[in-house]
Amino acid sequence: MQIKIINPNTTAAFTERSLALGRAVAAQGTTILAGQPAQGTPSVECHVEEAVATLGIVEQVLEGERLGVDGYVIACFGDTGIDAAREAAAGPVVGMTEAALYAAAMIAPVFSIVTLPRRTRVFAERVVLQAGLERRCRRVRAIDVDVLECEDETAAVYDAFVAEARAAIREDGAEAIILGCAGLSPLVAPLRETLGVPVIEGVSVAVKMVEGLVTLGLATSKIGGLAYPPTKVWTGPAAGFAFGKNGR
Amino acid sequence: MQIKIINPNTTAAFTERSLALGRAVAAQGTTILAGQPAQGTPSVECHVEEAVATLGIVEQVLEGERLGVDGYVIACFGDTGIDAAREAAAGPVVGMTEAALYAAAMIAPVFSIVTLPRRTRVFAERVVLQAGLERRCRRVRAIDVDVLECEDETAAVYDAFVAEARAAIREDGAEAIILGCAGLSPLVAPLRETLGVPVIEGVSVAVKMVEGLVTLGLATSKIGGLAYPPTKVWTGPAAGFAFGKNGR
Amino acid sequence: MQIKIINPNTTAAFTERSLALGRAVAAQGTTILAGQPAQGTPSVECHVEEAVATLGIVEQVLEGERLGVDGYVIACFGDTGIDAAREAAAGPVVGMTEAALYAAAMIAPVFSIVTLPRRTRVFAERVVLQAGLERRCRRVRAIDVDVLECEDETAAVYDAFVAEARAAIREDGAEAIILGCAGLSPLVAPLRETLGVPVIEGVSVAVKMVEGLVTLGLATSKIGGLAYPPTKVWTGPAAGFAFGKNGR
Amino acid sequence: MQIKIINPNTTAAFTERSLALGRAVAAQGTTILAGQPAQGTPSVECHVEEAVATLGIVEQVLEGERLGVDGYVIACFGDTGIDAAREAAAGPVVGMTEAALYAAAMIAPVFSIVTLPRRTRVFAERVVLQAGLERRCRRVRAIDVDVLECEDETAAVYDAFVAEARAAIREDGAEAIILGCAGLSPLVAPLRETLGVPVIEGVSVAVKMVEGLVTLGLATSKIGGLAYPPTKVWTGPAAGFAFGKNGR
Amino acid sequence: MQIKIINPNTTAAFTERSLALGRAVAAQGTTILAGQPAQGTPSVECHVEEAVATLGIVEQVLEGERLGVDGYVIACFGDTGIDAAREAAAGPVVGMTEAALYAAAMIAPVFSIVTLPRRTRVFAERVVLQAGLERRCRRVRAIDVDVLECEDETAAVYDAFVAEARAAIREDGAEAIILGCAGLSPLVAPLRETLGVPVIEGVSVAVKMVEGLVTLGLATSKIGGLAYPPTKVWTGPAAGFAFGKNGR
Amino acid sequence: MQIKIINPNTTAAFTERSLALGRAVAAQGTTILAGQPAQGTPSVECHVEEAVATLGIVEQVLEGERLGVDGYVIACFGDTGIDAAREAAAGPVVGMTEAALYAAAMIAPVFSIVTLPRRTRVFAERVVLQAGLERRCRRVRAIDVDVLECEDETAAVYDAFVAEARAAIREDGAEAIILGCAGLSPLVAPLRETLGVPVIEGVSVAVKMVEGLVTLGLATSKIGGLAYPPTKVWTGPAAGFAFGKNGR
**Among B214, B220, B209, which Cα is nearest to B97's?**
B209
Q: Distance, in angstroms, between F211 CA and closest chain D CA?
A: 34
Q: Which CATH number applies to F97-202?
A: 3.40.50.12500
Strands of the sheet with A199-201, listed across from one edge: A137-142, A111-115, A177-180, A199-201
Q: In CATH, what is the architecture of C2-95+205-247?
A: 3-Layer(aba) Sandwich (3.40)
d(C-alpha B106, C-alpha B124), whole Å: 19
Q: Distance, in angstroms, between B129 CA and closest chain F CA?
A: 10
Going from N- to C-terminal start, the domains of chain C cover: 2-95+205-247, 97-201
ipTM: 0.96
Say if residue B69's pLDDT is above 50.
yes
Which chains sit next to B, with 3 or more Cβ pairs under 8 A? Answer: A, C, D, F
| Residues of chain B found within 8 Å of residue D134, distances taken between Cβ atoms | 135
Name all contacts of B161-167 with Cβ < 8 Å and 24+ positions apart: B161/B114, B161/B187, B161/B191, B162/B191, B162/B194, B162/B195, B164/B114, B165/B112, B165/B114, B165/B191, B165/B195, B165/B199, B166/B195, B167/B141
| Residues of chain B found within 8 Å of residue D142, distances taken between Cβ atoms | none
d(C-alpha D120, C-alpha D127), whole Å: 11
Say if residue B202's pLDDT is above 90.
yes
Which chains sit next to A, with 3 or more Cβ pairs under 8 A? Answer: B, C, E, F
Query: What burial letters (b/e) apply to C24-55, b meaning 16+ CB within 10 Å?
Result: ebbbeebebbbbbbebbbbbbbbbbbbbbbbb
Verify E-F touch: 3 or more CB pairs within 8 A.
Answer: yes
Say if residue E187's pLDDT is above 80.
yes
Asked whether the beta carbons of D99 and D209 are under 8 A apart, the reply is: yes
Verify B-E touch: 3 or more CB pairs within 8 A.
Answer: no
| Residues of chain F found within 8 Å of residue A100, distances taken between Cβ atoms | none
What is the pLDDT, as a whole number, of residue A157? 86
Model confidence at F154, pLDDT cuts 50, 70, 90, reads: low
What is the pLDDT, as a whole number, of residue C182? 82
Please give the sequence-ordered ranges of beta strands (E in DSSP) within chain A, or none if there are none. Answer: 2-6, 31-35, 71-74, 93-95, 111-115, 137-142, 177-180, 199-201
Residues 6+ apart with CB under 8 A from A174: A108, A110, A111, A112, A138, A139, A165, A168, A197
248 residues of chain C, pLDDT tens digit each: 999 999 999 999 999 999 999 999 999 999 999 999 999 999 999 999 999 999 999 999 999 999 999 999 999 999 999 999 999 999 999 999 999 999 999 999 999 999 999 999 999 999 999 999 999 999 999 998 888 887 766 677 899 999 999 999 999 999 999 999 887 888 899 999 999 999 999 999 999 999 999 999 999 999 999 999 999 999 998 898 999 863 33
Asked whether the beta carbons of D187 and D153 are under 8 A apart, the reply is: no
Q: Do B173 and D121 touch (CB under 8 A)?
A: yes
What is the pLDDT, as a whole number, of residue F247? 36
Model confidence at E177, pLDDT cuts 50, 70, 90, reads: very high
Question: What does residue D118 show for φ and ψ, rounded to 5 degrees?
Answer: -50, -40
- pLDDT, tens only, C132-183: 999 999 999 999 888 888 776 667 789 999 999 999 999 999 999 999 988 7
Question: What does residue A81 show for φ and ψ, rounded to 5 degrees?
Answer: 65, 20
Q: Distance, in angstroms, between A86 CA and closest chain B CA?
A: 9
Amino acid at B55: L
Q: Which of B102, B136, B225 sits opposite C102 (nearest CB)?
A: B102
Q: Do C84 and D42 touch (CB under 8 A)?
A: no
Asked whether the beta carbons of D73 and D96 are under 8 A apart, the reply is: yes
Q: Do A216 and F25 touch (CB under 8 A)?
A: yes
d(C-alpha F173, C-alpha F169), whole Å: 5
Residues 6+ apart with CB under 8 A from C173: A121, B224, C110, C138
Pick the residue from chain F with its C-alpha nearest to A109.
F225
| Residues of chain D found within 8 Å of residue C81, distances taken between Cβ atoms | 47, 51
Across all residues in chain B, what is the average pLDDT? Answer: 94
**Between the CA atoms of E146, E151, E156 and E162, what dihedral angle is there, to the nearest 10 degrees?**
70
Q: Which of B47, B54, B232 sits opposite A87 (nearest CB)?
A: B47
Q: Distance, in angstroms, between D96 CA and closest chain F CA?
A: 27
- pLDDT, tens only, F37-62: 999 999 999 999 999 999 999 999 99
Asked whether the beta carbons of B34 and B63 are under 8 A apart, the reply is: no
d(C-alpha F3, C-alpha E231), whole Å: 33
- pLDDT, tens only, E99-117: 999 999 999 999 999 999 9
What is the pLDDT, as a whole number, of residue E248? 35
d(C-alpha B97, C-alpha B80), whole Å: 10
d(C-alpha E39, C-alpha F234), whole Å: 8
Say if residue E245's pLDDT is above 90.
no
| Residues of chain D found within 8 Å of residue B109, distances taken between Cβ atoms | 122, 125
Q: Distance, in angstroms, between A57 CA and closest chain B CA?
A: 10
Q: Do E118 and F47 touch (CB under 8 A)?
A: no
Lowest mean pLDDT among A15-24, C33-42, F183-192: F183-192
pTM value? 0.97
Chain A interface disruption, residue of E123, E125, E138, E143, most A CBs within 10 A: E125
Q: Do F122 and D135 touch (CB under 8 A)?
A: no
Model confidence at D145, pLDDT cuts 50, 70, 90, reads: confident
Residues 6+ apart with CB under 8 A from C132: B105, B131, B132, B133, B134, B135, B136
d(C-alpha A24, C-alpha E106), whole Å: 56
Q: Distance, in angstroms, between E147 CA and closest chain F CA?
A: 12
Model confidence at B246, pLDDT cuts 50, 70, 90, reads: very low
What is the pLDDT, as a whole number, of residue F7? 97
Q: Do A51 and B241 touch (CB under 8 A)?
A: no
Strands of the sheet with F93-95, listed across from one edge: F31-35, F2-6, F71-74, F93-95
Q: Distance, in angstroms, between F92 CA and closest chain A CA?
A: 7
Q: Do C46 and D227 touch (CB under 8 A)?
A: yes
Give the domain A97-201 fold: Rossmann fold (3.40.50)
Q: Distance, in angstroms, between F112 CA and closest chain D CA?
A: 16
Say if residue D247's pLDDT is above 50.
no
What is the pLDDT, as a whole number, of residue E148? 82
What is the pLDDT, as a whole number, of residue C135? 97
SS3 C180: strand
d(C-alpha F188, C-alpha F204), whole Å: 11
Residues, chain F: 248
| Residues of chain A found within 8 Å of residue F135, distances taken between Cβ atoms | 132
Q: Can you say whether the dihedral through the CA atoms of D116, D118, D120, D124 is positive or negative?
A: positive
Amino acid at A211: E
Using the 8-state DSSP alphabet, how is residue B45 labeled? -
d(C-alpha B173, C-alpha D14), whole Å: 29
SS3 D231: coil
Tell me whether the omega of the peptide bond preceding residue C117 falls within 30 degrees of 0, making it cis.
yes
Model confidence at A154, pLDDT cuts 50, 70, 90, reads: low
Strands E111-115 and C2-6: unpaired
Q: Do E51 and F232 touch (CB under 8 A)?
A: no
Say if residue F209's pLDDT is above 50.
yes
Amino acid at B77: F
Q: Do F227 and E146 touch (CB under 8 A)?
A: no
**Among D121, D190, C203, which Cα is nearest to B109's?**
D121
Say if residue F228's pLDDT is above 90.
yes
Q: Do D109 and F129 touch (CB under 8 A)?
A: no
